[in-house]
Protein backbone atom coordinates (compact mmCIF):
# COMPACT_ATOMS: atom_id res chain seq x y z
CA UNK A 1 0.00 0.00 0.00
CA UNK A 2 1.31 3.45 -0.92
CA UNK A 3 1.65 5.90 1.94
CA UNK A 4 1.39 9.65 1.95
CA UNK A 5 -1.09 12.14 0.60
CA UNK A 6 -3.56 11.00 -2.05
CA UNK A 7 -2.69 12.37 -5.47
CA UNK A 8 -4.97 15.11 -6.76
CA UNK A 9 -6.87 14.09 -9.89
CA UNK A 10 -5.38 15.63 -13.04
CA UNK A 11 -8.61 17.44 -13.89
CA UNK A 12 -8.52 19.19 -10.51
CA UNK A 13 -4.89 20.10 -11.18
CA UNK A 14 -5.97 21.58 -14.50
CA UNK A 15 -8.72 23.77 -13.03
CA UNK A 16 -6.40 24.94 -10.24
CA UNK A 17 -3.66 25.76 -12.75
CA UNK A 18 -1.41 23.12 -11.14
CA UNK A 19 -0.06 25.45 -8.42
CA UNK A 20 2.54 22.92 -7.25
CA UNK A 21 3.88 22.63 -10.81
CA UNK A 22 4.13 18.89 -10.30
CA UNK A 23 4.32 16.77 -13.40
CA UNK A 24 0.95 15.77 -14.79
CA UNK A 25 0.49 12.05 -15.40
CA UNK A 26 0.31 11.81 -19.20
CA UNK A 27 -0.87 8.20 -19.00
CA UNK A 28 -3.67 8.79 -16.50
CA UNK A 29 -6.84 6.99 -17.46
CA UNK A 30 -9.33 9.51 -18.82
CA UNK A 31 -13.05 9.17 -18.45
CA UNK A 32 -15.31 11.05 -20.82
CA UNK A 33 -17.12 13.87 -19.04
CA UNK A 34 -20.79 12.96 -18.62
CA UNK A 35 -23.67 13.40 -16.23
CA UNK A 36 -24.71 9.92 -15.10
CA UNK A 37 -28.33 9.22 -14.27
CA UNK A 38 -29.02 9.12 -10.52
CA UNK A 39 -29.56 5.62 -9.13
CA UNK A 40 -33.16 4.65 -8.41
CA UNK A 41 -32.50 3.99 -4.72
CA UNK A 42 -31.74 7.64 -3.92
CA UNK A 43 -34.20 9.45 -1.69
CA UNK A 44 -35.99 12.58 -2.92
CA UNK A 45 -33.56 14.81 -0.98
CA UNK A 46 -30.60 12.91 -2.42
CA UNK A 47 -31.90 13.24 -5.99
CA UNK A 48 -32.43 16.96 -5.47
CA UNK A 49 -28.81 17.33 -4.32
CA UNK A 50 -27.60 15.11 -7.18
CA UNK A 51 -29.32 17.37 -9.68
CA UNK A 52 -27.94 20.48 -7.98
CA UNK A 53 -24.28 19.44 -8.11
CA UNK A 54 -24.04 17.14 -11.14
CA UNK A 55 -24.21 19.91 -13.73
CA UNK A 56 -21.62 22.00 -11.91
CA UNK A 57 -19.23 19.05 -11.65
CA UNK A 58 -19.79 18.24 -15.32
CA UNK A 59 -19.07 21.85 -16.30
CA UNK A 60 -15.77 21.60 -14.44
CA UNK A 61 -15.03 18.41 -16.38
CA UNK A 62 -14.65 16.26 -13.27
CA UNK A 63 -17.79 14.12 -13.53
CA UNK A 64 -18.17 11.01 -15.66
CA UNK A 65 -20.24 7.84 -15.73
CA UNK A 66 -17.68 6.02 -13.60
CA UNK A 67 -18.21 8.54 -10.79
CA UNK A 68 -21.86 7.52 -10.38
CA UNK A 69 -21.36 5.50 -7.18
CA UNK A 70 -19.19 8.14 -5.49
CA UNK A 71 -21.68 10.88 -6.33
CA UNK A 72 -24.53 8.63 -5.15
CA UNK A 73 -22.73 8.11 -1.83
CA UNK A 74 -22.34 11.88 -1.48
CA UNK A 75 -25.99 12.49 -2.36
CA UNK A 76 -27.22 9.78 0.05
CA UNK A 77 -25.10 11.20 2.86
CA UNK A 78 -26.63 14.60 2.10
CA UNK A 79 -30.14 13.11 2.07
CA UNK A 80 -29.54 11.29 5.37
CA UNK A 81 -28.19 14.48 6.93
CA UNK A 82 -31.24 16.49 5.82
CA UNK A 83 -33.63 13.79 7.05
CA UNK A 84 -31.97 13.63 10.48
CA UNK A 85 -31.93 17.42 10.80
CA UNK A 86 -35.64 17.59 9.90
CA UNK A 87 -36.46 14.97 12.53
CA UNK A 88 -34.44 16.86 15.16
CA UNK A 89 -36.21 20.09 14.26
CA UNK A 90 -39.59 18.36 14.61
CA UNK A 91 -38.59 17.05 18.05
CA UNK A 92 -37.33 20.53 18.98
CA UNK A 93 -40.86 21.91 18.53
CA UNK A 94 -41.98 19.77 21.49
CA UNK A 95 -38.76 20.13 23.53
CA UNK A 96 -38.11 23.78 24.36
CA UNK A 97 -35.42 22.93 26.92
CA UNK A 98 -32.91 20.98 24.78
CA UNK A 99 -34.27 21.61 21.30
CA UNK A 100 -34.47 17.89 20.56
CA UNK A 101 -30.75 17.36 21.19
CA UNK A 102 -31.31 15.25 24.31
CA UNK A 103 -33.78 12.48 25.10
CA UNK A 104 -34.64 10.57 28.26
CA UNK A 105 -33.94 6.86 28.50
CA UNK A 106 -36.40 4.39 30.03
CA UNK A 107 -34.41 4.82 33.28
CA UNK A 108 -34.97 8.57 33.19
CA UNK A 109 -31.40 9.46 32.28
CA UNK A 110 -30.77 12.20 29.73
CA UNK A 111 -28.66 11.15 26.75
CA UNK A 112 -27.81 12.67 23.38
CA UNK A 113 -30.55 12.09 20.85
CA UNK A 114 -29.34 9.32 18.50
CA UNK A 115 -30.47 11.48 15.59
CA UNK A 116 -27.73 13.97 16.49
CA UNK A 117 -25.13 11.24 15.98
CA UNK A 118 -26.79 10.22 12.73
CA UNK A 119 -26.76 13.82 11.49
CA UNK A 120 -23.13 14.31 12.51
CA UNK A 121 -21.99 11.08 10.83
CA UNK A 122 -23.91 11.88 7.65
CA UNK A 123 -22.46 15.40 7.57
CA UNK A 124 -18.93 14.04 8.02
CA UNK A 125 -19.48 11.48 5.25
CA UNK A 126 -20.96 14.16 3.00
CA UNK A 127 -17.97 16.44 3.49
CA UNK A 128 -15.51 13.61 2.84
CA UNK A 129 -17.22 12.76 -0.47
CA UNK A 130 -17.55 16.45 -1.34
CA UNK A 131 -13.78 16.86 -0.96
CA UNK A 132 -13.25 14.03 -3.47
CA UNK A 133 -15.10 16.12 -6.05
CA UNK A 134 -13.47 19.43 -5.06
CA UNK A 135 -16.72 20.78 -3.57
CA UNK A 136 -15.42 22.11 -0.26
CA UNK A 137 -14.70 25.78 0.44
CA UNK A 138 -10.97 25.12 0.69
CA UNK A 139 -10.99 23.27 -2.65
CA UNK A 140 -12.88 26.14 -4.30
CA UNK A 141 -10.37 28.67 -2.97
CA UNK A 142 -7.65 26.90 -4.98
CA UNK A 143 -9.60 26.83 -8.24
CA UNK A 144 -9.13 29.48 -10.89
CA UNK A 145 -11.39 28.02 -13.53
CA UNK A 146 -11.30 29.20 -17.10
CA UNK A 147 -13.89 28.36 -19.74
CA UNK A 148 -12.79 25.28 -21.69
CA UNK A 149 -11.37 25.94 -25.13
CA UNK A 150 -13.74 25.02 -27.92
CA UNK A 151 -12.89 21.62 -29.33
CA UNK A 152 -9.68 21.28 -27.38
CA UNK A 153 -8.57 19.06 -24.54
CA UNK A 154 -7.71 21.23 -21.50
CA UNK A 155 -4.84 18.86 -20.71
CA UNK A 156 -3.11 19.93 -23.94
CA UNK A 157 -1.82 23.14 -22.34
CA UNK A 158 0.30 20.99 -19.96
CA UNK A 159 1.53 18.55 -22.61
CA UNK A 160 2.47 21.02 -25.33
Q: pLDDT value at position 30?
A: 73
Among 28, 1, 3, CA closest to 13: 28
What pLDDT is stored for residue 135 in this prediction? 85
Q: Give domain status of residue 40, yes or no.
A: yes
Give one word for 93, left, alpha or beta, with left for phi > 0 and alpha for psi -120 to 50: alpha
Q: Report the run of H or E that residue 115 belongs to, with start and end.
A: helix 114-132
pLDDT at 132: 82
Report the pLDDT value the prediction gives residue 151, as an integer from 0 to 100. 54
Beta bridge partners of 64: 33
At 127 the pLDDT is 93
Give the model's pLDDT for residue 96.
85
Q: Is residue 84 part of a domain?
A: yes
User: Is residue 12 situated within a structural domain?
Assistant: no
Domain total for the chain? Answer: 1
Position 139 scores a pLDDT of 61
Inter-residue contact 149 to 136 (CB < 8 Å): no
Low-confidence residues of the chain: pLDDT under 70: 1-22, 24-29, 139-160
In whole angstroms, how large is the CA radius of gyration of the chain? 20
22 located within any domain: no
Amino acid sequence: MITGRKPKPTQLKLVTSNPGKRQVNRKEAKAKAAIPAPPHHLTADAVEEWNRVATELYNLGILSEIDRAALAAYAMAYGRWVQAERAIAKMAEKDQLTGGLMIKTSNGNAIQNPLVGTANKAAADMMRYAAEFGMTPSARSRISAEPPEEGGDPADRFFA
